[in-house]
Amino acid sequence: MKKMSILSILTTAALSLTTGLIFAQNNLYSSLTIPLSLRENATHVVRLRDTKIEVDDDYSMVVKEKVIITLLSNDAGSYSYLFSYDDKFRTTKKMEGRLYDAAGQLIRESGKSDIVAVSTDSDGELTQRKTKYLHLPNATFPFTVEFYLETKQEQFFLLPSFEIQHFGEAVEEARFHLITPANYGLRWKANNTALQLQSTLEKAEKHWTATVKNLPAPQKESYTPFFSRLYAEISLAPDRVKMEDNMGDMRDWSTTGAFYYNLNNNRDALSPAMQATVQQLTAAARTNREKIAALYTYLQQNYRYVSIQLGIGGIQTLPASFVEQKKYGDCKALTNYMKAMLKVVGIPAYQALIYGDDEEFPALSEDFSRPLFNHVVLYIPGEDMWLECTSQQAPLGYLGGFTAGHPSLLLTPEGGKLVQAPLPPADANQRHMRLLIDIDAEGNGKVGTQVHYSGLLHDMYRYCSVEKDAAKRDATFSKSLGVSVKDYQKLAFNADPNAPLASIVADYETRNYAKVSGKRLFIPVNKIKPFDLALPVDSLRQHPLQFTEANIIRDTVVFKVPAGYKVENAPAPTHISAEFVEYDLSIGPLVNQEIVAVRTVQHKPLLAQPEQYQDIRKVLLNIKKADGAQIVLVKDSSP
């Protein structure tokens, strides 16, 4: 074999490098071609998102979307998945993907075996829906995925939004194209963007288009008020819809509510036997409230929740006769069944569409009716009472954190009414905790705990009181303590069946609660359930900051300290006040080897502008510092 000279090797290497650079510059799939301005703050870059929607006169649509995304870090791992689903009205026509390395070289193409179809039927769900997903992972970042998805929807009441950009997402180019019949009624609303849809008329079709290019990534920021961390989108809504033989006018909330009302009307007939049972259950009741309480208890004790998505079951309830016979139903069916029982005793009630989520929900506009709801509750106007009909534990008239304070659409005979479900005031959401911590000379502690929760703070512990999995229940309690538990001598949960109240009694041991240093003992005052509201360093805050928590915390900690120790230093009383929080801490003297510390924290809702961020962060740092105070004990060496 002929030996290559050093010059030949260098020349070949240079040519290879040049060829590679030229290839990279023309390669949409290469991470090397991403401008630095699009890398900043980005976890991923959308190289291209091309969405095309074609709506026809038969109230059906075809959606075609091609997306090319370069994932820069593991934080973007979810974008290596493509999801779809099939049901009675929707069919996935094509689903495919390709995976590229950092240089844009094709690693592999997906095949049919890569598409996983999962039926969601289970003991807790009956549905015709099958979820499909395609996953193209790669061990080394950055890498690029290309997905193509084509679906056909026979009937629909929501049009896909033009999702322009999310937090942590840079966009090289995104195109949106909606084609409708010329006379098709369409409304749209821009959210967090100045971008507008452009429309043109071509023969019998109307074309709606929008394009964006080179959008830097908005940085992910803590406590932003946007729903689902969505940064920018254009929402679309049809004026009219058709579901099977049901036509609906969706141009405002009144007509939207009327569509849902008519779809679910006259499905509340109970058998004569069940009507007799209802009369019997309420015979001794003296007021409407007592009648409601009797029937709600009966519902909770005899019927269970099952998610049902059959036919148009996603928006139309199964008849009350189904629930009567099967003893189960989804949120719509159980709500309708409770409404049916109330109807027998002459108490009017309205179904109420609502979005359920413990952390976030969409902000609905009065002037733009787009029904983003996933749950149904019941409203009784005569008592101004809301009922969660899917819960077998919720007390009468209580909406938990899943729906409290969320916008809701009442379905009345006169049409829909957009209202807000009630949110308990701060003084209804309280925690009262009393701790007795017996600390030995090695710093270990025996802890006796009594905690009382009310309002929205009690939700988690109500469900712990009926949780059959002891390990899961114990873990729920332990994860928020702030200390490791060596052993539980006692852990008991109790919930009031008639009020939003829950209590916990716990006795356990924890190692190294206090730190021993020579003849001194350093005791953290609030090591158990410390103040945990904090903001990261963010000198370039871009978005408003929102705190939604509203509650009052009152904790009393009694430290029993080892004999032979006296107080060398104790924190002075602390009071910190701000628009969104009140913090107080006081520590008493050593009496009979016991020290009592009392902490009170009141959280208040806040919506602040970016320029207020640093001041708010400083307040939280001051509280964190105060909350981390220690009592210093020293061995008494006096004879």
Show the beta-strand stretches assigned E in 288-414.
Answer: 304-305, 307-309, 328-329, 350-354, 375-380, 385-387, 407-412
Q: Confidence band (pLDDT; 50, 70, 90) for 310? A: low
Residues 5-24: pLDDT tens digits? 433 333 333 334 333 433 44
Confidence grade of residue 312 (pLDDT, cut at 50, 70, 90): low
| Closest alpha carbon to 142 in 105, 184, 91, 114 | 105
Average pLDDT score over residue span 522-537: 95
**pLDDT tens digits, one per residue of 493-523:** 999 999 999 999 999 999 999 999 999 999 9
Using pLDDT thresholds of 50, 70 and 90, give the confidence band for residue 360.
Answer: confident
User: What class, spelled out in words, does domain 249-420 have in CATH?
Assistant: alpha beta
Q: Which CATH architecture has domain 427-635?
A: Sandwich (2.60)
The answer, yes or no, to whether residue 529 has pLDDT greater than 80, is yes
For 273, 280, 281, 295, the CA distances from 298, given in Å and listed in that order, are: 15, 12, 8, 5
Domain with CATH 2.60.120.1130 in the chain: 427-635
The per-residue pLDDT of the chain, averaged, comes to 91
In the chain, the amino acid numbered 526 is: N
* DSSP label of 456: G
In the predicted structure, residue 340 carries a pLDDT above the cut 60: yes
Q: What is the CA angle 17-23-29, rounded to 5?
A: 125
Query: Could you tell me how many residues make up the chain?
Result: 639
Q: Which residues pair with 350 in a beta bridge?
A: 379
The full DSSP string for 91-127 is: EEEEEEEEEE-TT--EEEE--GGGEEEEE--BTTEEE
How many Cα atoms within 13 Å fall on the side-chain side of residue 79? 26
CATH 2.60.40.3140 residue spans of the chain: 31-238
Residues paired with 180 in a beta bridge: 206
Task: Kindly tell me if the per-residue pLDDT of 59 is higher than 50.
Answer: yes
- The one-letter amino acid code at 140 reads T
Considering Cα of 161, then 164, then 167, then 168, what sign does the dihedral take?
positive
Mean of the pLDDT values across residues 457-470? 92
In this structure, what token pair is assigned to residue 185? 């009624």
Side-chain-side CA neighbours of 393 within 13 Å: the count stands at 17
**Whole-angstrom distance, CA of residue 329 vs CA of residue 339:** 14
Percent of the chain with pLDDT over 90: 81
Is the distance from CB of 555 to CB of 529 less than 8 angstroms?
A: yes
What number is the average pLDDT over the span 286-301? 98
pLDDT of residue 311: 52
Q: How confident is the model at residue 591 (pLDDT cuts 50, 70, 90)?
A: very high
Tell me: pLDDT of 382 over 60: yes
pLDDT for 5 equals: 42
Residues near 15 by beta carbon (within 8 Å), at least 6 away in sequence: none
Residues 607-635, mean pLDDT to the nearest whole number: 97
pLDDT in tens, 402-441: 999 999 999 999 999 999 999 999 999 999 999 999 999 9
> What pLDDT digit, counting tens, does each position of 550-571 carry?
999 999 999 999 999 999 999 9
Its pTM stands at: 0.89
| Tokens 């929402």, residue located | 235
Amino acid symbol at 143:
F
pLDDT of residue 475: 86
End-to-end CA distance of the chain: 95
The tokens for 638 are 């006096």
pLDDT at residue number 229: 66
pLDDT tens per residue, range 193-250: 999 999 999 989 999 999 999 999 998 899 998 776 677 999 999 999 988 888 899 9
Which residue has better confidence, 411 or 310?
Answer: 411
Q: What share of the chain is helix, strand, coil (3-state, %, to 5)?
A: 20, 40, 40
Cα–Cα distance, 459 to 499 (Å, whole number): 11
Q: Give per-residue pLDDT as tens, 66-79.
A: 999 999 999 999 99
31-238: CATH topology: Immunoglobulin-like (2.60.40)
CB 170 within 8 A of CB 217: yes
Residue range 29-33: average pLDDT?
Answer: 95
